[in-house]
Every structure is written in C-alpha cells, then in structure tokens.
C-alpha cells in the first residue's frame, strides 16, 4: 500500500526536517514543498558533505526522486536560479528535469524584498527578525489578489501589464510611506523575463501530478518548512512567518485531499531553538558575540552549532517545552515523533523539560492566548539526569545509555506519542529508524 507522509517542524523551525526528508526519500517517487519559500534552510549531510537547500525539495540528492514545488510556495526566481547553479556545481544530476513548479506559485519579486527590509527597519526594536527574503510581502500580494504568479510568465504581454500595475502600487508605498527609492519597472521586467527562461520549462500542473502519483499507488512525502509555532494563525503572532506551517498547509498548499494524508511525522529537536524575535519561555539567554549569558545556553548553541542555515544568525536556545509541543502535536495531528539532536545534550549533568507555565499566579498546561502571555509565562520544569557520554551515531536503541532512553521514554509519556525516528548526528546515517513512517 502506498502512503502519503507529511513532515513538519513542531517548534520554531530548524528541527532537522531536511535531514529526515532526505533520509526517507529512498522510499518515495516524489517530494512536495507546499508552503514557505527560501526563508527555509534545510541542511543535508551525506558522508560528511553538507548541502543546504532553501527552495528545492530535500529529495533532490536522490536521483530517482521527482521534486515538486506546489502552489502554496512563494517562489523567488533569483533564489531558485542561484540554488540550481549551486546544485549543478556539486554535480547533482538532472535537477532541471526532476524539478516541477506549479503555475499557481506566487512570485517573490524584487520589490517584496525591499518592502520586507524597509518594514523591519521601521519597526525598530519591535522588528520580527524576518529573513529579509520578501516572504511576507509576497504572501500579502497573494491574499490581496494583486500578485504575479509563475503562470503569468507564460504570456509576456500579460506579465508586463500586471507588473506595471502592481509596481505602480508598491513604488508609491515605498517612496511615500517608507521613504525609500522606487524600483525601475523596465529593469525589473527585463530581469524577470530573462529569469523566466529557466523557470517556464519547469511549469507543471503539480496538483494533477500528485493525484496521478496517488492513483498509481506511489509514496509521496510532503516537506514542511518552518515550524508550527511560526504558523501565521497558530504561532506566536506577530512573530511568525506568513504561511500555514502546520500539516493542514500540506493539503491547501498542494491540492491533496485531507483524507489522503496517512501519517504526519513531527520533527522535535531534543531542546528548543528560535531565530528572530518573539517570546520564548524556556530560553537560556546567551550572547555569542559578547560571550555572555547562560552557561547551558552556550553549550546548546555551541554543541548544536545553532546558527541559521539561511541568514547565519545565532539561534536562541532553551530547554524542551512540552506545553507548546503538546499543542503543536494536536495542531498537526502528529502520528509519530522524530527526535533530533539528542547528541547535543550528551555533556549535560541534568536536563530539564518544561511541563507547565506559571502565568498570573496560575499554573497552565496549554499555551497562552497571546504574545504577552507568552512573554509573561514562567516555565515549570521537571529534571532528568544526564548521561554524560557520547550518543553520536548510536546504532541501536538498546545501546543508548539508560538515562538517554529514560529521556526519550519521558517525552513519549508526556506526549502520548511514539518516537519513531531518532537522530544523533547531522549525517544521513546517524539516524535510528525505529518505526518507518512508510511501513506504519
Ligand atoms: P531544518 O530547517 O529543520 O531542515 O533544520 P536546519 O538544517 O536548519 O538545522 C538543523 C541543523 O542541525 C543542521 O545543521 C543539521 O545538519 C543539524 N542536525 C540535524 N540532525 C542532527 C542531529 O541529530 N545531531 C546534530 N548534532 N546535528 C543535527
Ligand atoms: P526552516 O524551514 C527558523 C523565522 C524568521 C523570523 C520569522 C519570519 O529552515 O525551519 P520570514 O522571513 O519567514 O517572514 O520570517 O520566521 N523563520 C524561520 N526560523 N527556520 C526557518 O525555516 C524559518 N523561516 C522563517 O527568523 O523570525
Ligand atoms: Mg532550517
């Protein structure tokens, strides 16, 4: 029986989704990206060789896999072309022929990037800390029904006309509201038409393709970007991204039916990280540049190499937070957990898990309703003894130190979900598949 599996981040992104997508794509015919854009940074390490993917699905390194970018993804042609040339430079074969792009993808245009940056600057201290890649403004144009889409590239005249109208609007906002320079219409048009030559041959009816694969009984993997707590509706608004990062996004963003999803793999980092602004109740504040702050925060950031795969920014680190995680498991209908980066905890004497918050003198076990509640929430922890020995690349569950097994059992008990995959190192082969999502 074929299966459709969705992989989602359950925290604030960077849980290790890319690694796991790459790992289990040996069992699929196609991998689908369904939301977000090149704000994502998905790291694959194969025999020590590192590749970071932003827009292209993490199945691309497996030669038999077709990579689909569905209409839920916002597509920057510049970012795509850069990534294509990076992949060809490292010798990845048949990328152009294996990559298919939906005509419905909203285009991220140069003015979206300028708007994103101008807006962040204007927000000052309240900045969201976006990737500056134009993600938010491109999704705004989609919802405002004025955006350009990949399919518009098929008719140069129509594209030129639509671009004129939308640039008139954005240039007005840029110059009058943000007091920055307008972009030149002719330049943007010429650049877009040049880039279109690469993109147009890849245009495909992605939704139909997915339906065909399902009819042919082929396994499909849906690759989420970001994490549930960055979801536009359910995340820590306004410190979120602009798409639905939860598993429902796989349905709306690709055209597969709700009942066609068989399994949702929730990727959980063994601690928590966040990059950018916004509340983070279990944060252990440490500033890498000043080398000041919490000692455990430093250990997590250093051992976990917690620097953004897209922007290079330091990721904020903290303890595992079961309050947000349990909520996240419900939002995503998580079937099983993939626990990553367990090895990063190897040197710790004691490990904490947040099991509740104290908010306004009361103990709560579900997330606060708004961002202020998150900011005021004080974590309540349980403590687990550390194992103080290396788990890197461990080859069986039984060979894990007892304390590490206990940490995993505790997570299973608190979440009432099984840990189906365990990752103890960045490399593809540093992974234990306890229950394969395509077999369950
Ligand atoms: P994604 O955005 O969810 O795909 O995750 P990122 O690639 O942005 O960040 C995860 C980082 O952790 C990358 O540098 C991975 O190579 C690395 N990584 C993934 N799994 C493990 C693991 O189990 N242990 C360690 N030490 N590193 C890991
Ligand atoms: P992956 O797929 C971590 C964060 C940004 C910022 C907020 C909004 O690698 O897990 P945006 O540019 O999307 O408007 O920024 O979302 N963010 C991510 N954080 N991992 C990501 O992707 C992220 N994509 C966006 O840092 O706080
Ligand atoms: Mg990432």
pLDDT tens digit sequence for 172-191: 999 999 999 999 999 999 99
- In this prediction, residue 384 carries a pLDDT of 95
- In this prediction, residue 233 carries a pLDDT of 97
Confirm or reject: Cβ of 16 under 6 Å from ligand 1.
yes
**Is 427 noted as a catalytic residue in this protein?**
no
Q: Is there a single domain that holds both residue 250 and residue 380?
A: no
3-state secondary structure of 100: strand
> Is the pLDDT score of 311 beyond 90?
no
Q: What is the mean pLDDT of residues 51-79?
A: 97
Confirm or reject: Cβ of 45 under 6 Å from ligand 1.
yes
Confirm or reject: Cβ of 310 under 6 Å from ligand 1.
no
Token duo for residue 110: 């140069």
Query: Which residues in 217-340 belong to E strands, given as ranges?
Result: 220-223, 263-269, 272-274, 286-287, 292-293, 316-318, 320-321, 336-340
> Would 438 be classed as within a structural domain?
no
Residues 6+ apart with CB under 8 A from 385: 349, 350, 351, 403, 406
Half-sphere exposure of 258 (CA within 13 A, CB side): 3
* CATH number for 113: 1.10.300.10
> Is the pLDDT score of 73 beyond 90?
yes
Q: Which atom, in ligand 1's list, is nearest to the CA of 342?
A: 23
Q: Is there a single domain that holds both residue 195 and residue 207?
A: no
- In this prediction, residue 104 carries a pLDDT of 98
Confirm or reject: Cβ of 129 under 6 Å from ligand 2.
yes
Q: Is there a single domain that holds both residue 112 and residue 221?
A: no
Dist CA 15 CA 212 (whole Å)? 31
Measured at the alpha carbon of residue 240, what is the angle toward residues 235 and 243, in degrees to the nearest 5?
A: 90
> Would 439 be classed as within a structural domain?
no
Residue-by-residue DSSP string for 185-250? HHHHHHHHHHHHHHHGGGEE-HHHHHHHHHHTT--EEEE--S-GGG-TTTSSTTSS-SS--STHHH
Q: Is there a single domain that holds both residue 311 and residue 251?
A: no
Q: Is there a single domain that holds both residue 411 and residue 276?
A: yes
Q: Which domain holds residue 37?
A: 4-102+203-263
Q: Which atom, in ligand 2's list, is nearest to the CA of 275?
A: 26
User: Looking up tokens 């990062």, which residue turns up?
Assistant: 245
Q: Is there a single domain that holds both residue 212 and residue 319?
A: no
- In this prediction, residue 350 carries a pLDDT of 98
> Would 322 be classed as within a structural domain?
yes
**Considering the chain, what percentage of its residues have pLDDT values greater than 90?**
98
- In this prediction, residue 402 carries a pLDDT of 98
Cis-peptide, bond into residue 186, ω within 30° of zero: no
User: CB of 242 within 8 A of CB of 139?
Assistant: yes
Q: Is there a single domain that holds both residue 89 and residue 9?
A: yes
Confirm or reject: Cβ of 425 under 6 Å from ligand 1.
yes
Core vs surface per residue 326-336: b (16+ CB within 10 A) or e: bbbbebbbbbb
> Would 17 be classed as within a structural domain?
yes
> Would 440 be classed as within a structural domain?
no
Q: Is there a single domain that holds both residue 220 and residue 152?
A: no
* CATH number for 238: 3.40.440.10
> Is the pLDDT score of 136 beyond 90?
yes
Dist CA 168 CA 163 (whole Å)? 8
> Is the pLDDT score of 344 beyond 90?
yes
> Would 181 be classed as within a structural domain?
yes
Closest CA to 323 of 279, 281, 366: 366
Q: Is there a single domain that holds both residue 96 and residue 225?
A: yes
Confirm or reject: Cβ of 135 under 6 Å from ligand 2.
yes
Q: How confident is the model at residue 433 (pLDDT cuts 50, 70, 90)?
A: very high
> Would 38 be classed as within a structural domain?
yes
Q: Is there a single domain that holds both residue 306 and residue 394?
A: yes
Confirm or reject: Cβ of 343 under 6 Å from ligand 1.
yes
Dist CA 223 CA 59 (whole Å)? 9
The ligand minimizing its distance to the Cα of 12 is 2
Which one of 228, 263, 298 terminates a domain?
263
- In this prediction, residue 1 carries a pLDDT of 82
> Is the pLDDT score of 309 beyond 90?
no
- Number of domains the chain contains: 3
Q: CA-based diameter of the chain, in Å?
A: 67
Confirm or reject: Cβ of 341 under 6 Å from ligand 1.
yes
The ligand minimizing its distance to the Cα of 108 is 2
Q: How confident is the model at residue 439 (pLDDT cuts 50, 70, 90)?
A: very high
- Closest residue by Cα to atom 26, ligand 1, is 425
Dist CA 224 CA 84 (whole Å)? 20
> Is the pLDDT score of 310 beyond 90?
no
Best of 139, 275, 341 for a ligand 2 pocket test (most atoms within 8 Å of beta carbon): 275
**Is 71 noted as a catalytic residue in this protein?**
no
Which one of 263, 292, 312 terminates a domain?
263
C-alpha distances in angstroms, 371 versus 28, 236, 238, 374, 376?
A: 39, 6, 8, 5, 9
- In this prediction, residue 178 carries a pLDDT of 97
Residue-by-residue DSSP string for 2-39? --EEEEEESSSS-SSHHHHHHHHGGG-SEEEE-S--TT
Residues 6+ apart with CB under 8 A from 251: 257, 258, 261
Best of 39, 83, 306 for a ligand 2 pocket test (most atoms within 8 Å of beta carbon): 39
Q: Is there a single domain that holds both residue 170 and residue 293?
A: no
From the candidates 22, 38, 42, 327, give the one annotated as an active-site residue: 42
Q: Is there a single domain that holds both residue 327 and residue 381?
A: yes
Q: What is the mean pLDDT of residues 262-284?
A: 98
Q: How confident is the model at residue 105 (pLDDT cuts 50, 70, 90)?
A: very high
Q: What is the mean pLDDT of residues 416-425?
A: 98
Report, in angstroms and rounded to the nearest whole number, the Rg of the chain calculated over CA atoms.
22
Confirm or reject: Cβ of 273 under 6 Å from ligand 1.
no
The ligand minimizing its distance to the Cα of 132 is 2
- In this prediction, residue 440 carries a pLDDT of 79
- In this prediction, residue 373 carries a pLDDT of 96
Is the pTM for the entire model greater than 0.85?
yes
**Considering the chain, what percentage of its residues have pLDDT values greater than 70?**
100
Which one of 199, 217, 247 terminates a domain?
199
Q: Which atom, in ligand 2's list, is nearest to the CA of 313?
A: 26
Best of 17, 127, 226, 228 for a ligand 2 pocket test (most atoms within 8 Å of beta carbon): 226
The ligand minimizing its distance to the Cα of 226 is 2
Strand partners, 149: 106
């Amino acid at each position: 029986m074929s299966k459709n599996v969705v992989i989602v981040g359950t925290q604030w992104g960077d849980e290790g989704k890319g690694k796991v997508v790459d790992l289990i794509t040996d069992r699929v015919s196609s991998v689908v990206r369904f939301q977000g854009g090149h704000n994502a940074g998905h790291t694959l390490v194969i025999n020590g060789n590192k590749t970071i993917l932003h827009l292209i699905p993490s199945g691309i390194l497996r030669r038999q896999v077709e990579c689909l970018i569905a209409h839920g993804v916002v597509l920057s042609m510049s970012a795509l072309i850069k990534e294509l040339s990076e992949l060809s430079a490292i010798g990845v074969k048949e990328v152009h022929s294996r990559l298919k792009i939906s005509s419905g993808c909203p285009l991220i245009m140069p003015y979206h990037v300028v708007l994103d940056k101008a807006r962040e600057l204007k927000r000052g201290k309240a900045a969201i800390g976006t990737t500056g890649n134009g993600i938010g403004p491109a999704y705004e144009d989609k919802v405002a029904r004025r955006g350009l889409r990949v399919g518009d590239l098929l008719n140069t005249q129509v594209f030129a006309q639509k671009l004129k109208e939308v640039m008139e609007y954005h240039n007005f906002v840029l110059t009058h509201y943000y007091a920055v320079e307008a972009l030149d219409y002719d330049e943007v048009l010429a650049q877009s038409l040049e880039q279109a030559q690469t993109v147009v041959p890849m245009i495909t009816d992605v939704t139909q393709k997915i339906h065909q694969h399902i009819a042919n009984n082929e396994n499909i993997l849906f690759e989420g970007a970001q994490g549930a707590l960055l979801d536009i509706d359910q995340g820590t608004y306004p410190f979120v991204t602009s798409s639905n990062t939860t598993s429902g996004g796989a349905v709306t963003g690709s055209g597969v039916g709700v009942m066609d999803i068989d399994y949702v793999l929730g990727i959980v980092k063994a601690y928590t990280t966040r990059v950018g602004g916004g509340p983070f109740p279990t944060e252990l504040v440490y500033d890498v540049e000043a080398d000041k702050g919490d000692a455990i925060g430093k250990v997590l950031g250093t051992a976990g190499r917690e620097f953004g795969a897209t922007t290079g920014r330091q990721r904020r680190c903290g303890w595992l937070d079961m309050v947000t995680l349990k909520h996240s498991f419900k939002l995503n209908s998580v079937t099983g957990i993939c626990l990553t980066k367990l090895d990063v905890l190897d040197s710790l004497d004691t490990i904490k898990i947040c099991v509740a918050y104290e908010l306004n003198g009361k103990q709560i076990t579900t997330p606060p309703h708004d961002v202020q509640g998150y900011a005021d929430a004080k974590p309540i922890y349980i403590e687990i003894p550390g194992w103080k020995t290396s788990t890197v690349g461990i080859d069986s569950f039984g060979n894990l130190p007892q304390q590490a097994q206990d940490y995993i059992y505790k997570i299973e008990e608190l979440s009432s979900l099984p840990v189906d995959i365990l990752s103890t190192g960045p490399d593809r082969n540093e992974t234990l598949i306890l229950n394969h999502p395509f077999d369950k």
